[in-house]
Amino acid sequence: MKYMKKSFDGLLPYHSKLITDGIILNANESPILPPSKVIEEAKKEILNIEFNRYPDMDEEILDKAIAKKFGIKRENVTVGVGSDELLDVLFRAVLEKDDIVLGFMPSFSMYQVFSKLQNAKYIPVLGNEFNIFNVDDMISKIKEYNPKLVLICSPNNPTGQYFTKDEVIKIIESTNAMIALDLAYIDFAKEDYTTIALNYDNVISFRTFSKAMALPSIRVGYAISKKENIDMLDAIKAPYSVTTISQIIATIAINNFDLYKGQIKMIINERERLYKELINLKINAYKSEANFIYCIMDDKLNDALLKNKIYIRKFKSNIYRITVGSSYENDKLIEVLKNETK
Ligand code: PMP
C-alpha cells in the first residue's frame, strides 16, 4: 500500500467467484434467459454494429426507450455500467471528506465501500431484533446526524424488506439530503414508484437490467431524476462507458418489457412457495418482496447444499441469502434441506 492512499488501507476487492456448474442461487440473478424475442433481435442487431466506432456517448436511443417505458422525458434519464457505476458517481458528486451517509443495515454492501472511497462516514440505521427496519428510526437518525446522502434500498438487499411509496415519501420529506432510491429489485414488489424521483429536487431513482430483466451480462443500469441531477451524473461518469452492444441489447429488452411479465410472475410465485417451504422446515426466513430470501439457518445446512453443488450466499455464520431459482432448482434446494433437517 506504499503508493496508495493511507485512508484506503484494508480495502479489499469485491469478489464473487464465477460458478459455472451446479445450482447457482448466490447472486440474485434470474434463473431464466431473457425472452427469446429479445435474444433473437439482439443477435440480428449485433451483426450491424460498426465495431470500429465508439459507442453513442449520449446513449440517445436507450435513454429514449427507458423514458418511453416510464412516460417521462429523455432529459430525466441516464445510463451507466450497471447501477454500480451510477451509484459510485453519485457518491463522488455529493460527498466530501467526513460527510455523513445514512443507510439501513444490513443493506447493499457497496454503499459502505463507496462512502469509504469518498472518506465519508457511513452511519447504519439498524432494524429491530428481527432485522425489520422502521422508517421512523431513519427519520430520527436524519435529525440527529444531518446527513449529506440517505440511501433507501427497496426491496432491501439482502433482507427483502419493501418500503411502501408512502414510507419512502415520509423519509424524503423529512430531509434536504440527497436521497438515493435504489430500486434494483422493485419489479418483484407490489408497486413500482421509480418516477417519484421527479417530484423532488433531491431524489434519484436507480434501476438495473441485471435482475428482473435477466441481463447482468451486459452491465447496464439507469438513473431517473430531475435534469440537474442527471446532468451532474453525466458530467462525472466515464465517457463511452456503456458499450454499443450493451446499449443495443438493453434497448431491445426495455422495448419488450411486456414479454418479461410472465417470467417475473413465475419468480414471485416461486419466492412465495420457497418461503413457505423454508418456514415449514423451521428455518427462520424473512418475508421478501425481491427475488431472494434472507434466512438464519444452521451452517450444516449450507454444508449439505455445497456437497450437492447448490450455491447460496453466506454473509457470516448462520446468515444466508437464497436467490429464488427455477422451480426445478428450488425443488432441489428444498429436497436437500428436508433431508438434512429430518
Ligand atoms: N443495488 C443493489 C441493491 C444490488 O443488489 C445490486 C447488485 N447486486 C446493485 C445495485 C448493482 O447492480 P448492477 O450494477 O448490476 O446494476
Residue ranges per structural domain of the chain: 6-33+260-341, 50-258
Q: Which ligand 1 atom sits nearest the alpha carbon of residue 83?
A: 16
Residue closest via CA to ligand 1's atom 14 equals 82
In the chain, the percentage of residues whose pLDDT exceeds 90 is 92
The CATH class, in words, for 6-33+260-341 is alpha beta
- Which parts of 146-212 fold into alpha helices (H)? 165-172
Q: Which ligand 1 atom sits nearest the alpha carbon of residue 84?
A: 14
pLDDT tens sequence across 180-209 = 999 999 999 999 999 999 999 999 999 999
* Average pLDDT score over residue span 284-295: 97
The CATH class, in words, for 50-258 is alpha beta
pLDDT at 63 over 90: yes
* pLDDT confidence bin for 229, thresholds 50/70/90: very high
Query: How many Å apart are CA 118 and CA 63, to the nearest integer?
Result: 28
pLDDT at 312 over 80: yes
**C-alpha 184 – ligand 1 centre gap (Å):** 6
Tell me what pLDDT residue 334 has: 97
**C-alpha 162 – ligand 1 centre gap (Å):** 16
**C-alpha 209 – ligand 1 centre gap (Å):** 9
pLDDT at 13 over 90: no
Tell me what pLDDT residue 339 has: 96
Tell me what pLDDT residue 10 has: 80
Report DSSP letters for 17-57, one per residue.
----SSEEESS---SSPSPHHHHHHHHHHHTT--TTS---T
* pLDDT confidence bin for 122, thresholds 50/70/90: very high
* Average pLDDT score over residue span 151-179: 98
Ligand 1 pocket mutation, candidates 84, 151, 289, criterion most atoms within 8 A of CB = 84
Tell me what pLDDT residue 5 has: 85
Tell me what pLDDT residue 14 has: 73
Tell me what pLDDT residue 11 has: 81
Tell me what pLDDT residue 83 has: 98
pLDDT at 211 over 80: yes
Is residue 197 within 8 A of residue 225, CB to CB? The reply is yes
Query: How many Å apart are CA 207 and CA 230, to the nearest integer?
Result: 14
* Average pLDDT score over residue span 76-83: 98
Tell me what pLDDT residue 85 has: 97
Tell me what pLDDT residue 130 has: 82
pLDDT at 19 over 90: no
pLDDT at 264 over 80: yes
Entry pTM: 0.96
pLDDT tens sequence across 131-151 = 899 999 999 999 999 999 999
* Average pLDDT score over residue span 307-334: 97
**C-alpha 323 – ligand 1 centre gap (Å):** 14
DSSP 218: G
pLDDT at 1 over 80: no
Report long-range pairs for 311-319 (Cβ below 8 Å, ≥24 apart).
Answer: 311/19, 311/22, 311/23, 311/24, 311/25, 311/26, 312/25, 312/26, 313/25, 313/26, 313/27, 313/158, 315/106, 315/158, 319/294
Burial degree of 125 (CB within 10 A; 0-12, 13-18, 19+):
buried
pLDDT at 12 over 90: no
DSSP 112: H
In the chain, the percentage of residues whose pLDDT exceeds 70 is 100
